[in-house]
Amino acid sequence: MTKALWRRKEMPVAEWAALQALGEEMAVKAGGPKDFAMILQGRPSDPTAMVFLTGPGTEALERTCPGNWENSSVPNAPNIAILVASGDPRAHFGIRDG
């Protein structure tokens, strides 16, 4: 399990969907780094969700939707979804749903 610095921000669906698309593009261009992940915590019916980022490129993604990012621990909460990652991010980072 890799210990990583995580960043998080609560945002509406439209905002995190756009961020996810950028994260996917960055991950592909970088060759799918194992230390990069974008995780979502929330339910589809929720108006906002918590987005978690870690790894190379995090700062660039944060700049695309500035403000209110904060340090976080590994996302271990109910309703976790992997948005962007390579390999098995649950095992790599120790992510647990709940």
pTM equals: 0.91
Inter-residue contact 2 to 37 (CB < 8 Å): no
2 burial via Cβ count (<10 Å: 0-12, 13-18, 19+): middle
pLDDT, one tens digit per residue, over 44-54 is 788 999 999 99
* Whole-number percent of the chain with pLDDT over 70: 97
pLDDT greater than 90 at residue 16: no
pLDDT, one tens digit per residue, over 34-77 is 899 999 999 878 899 999 999 998 999 999 988 999 999 999 88
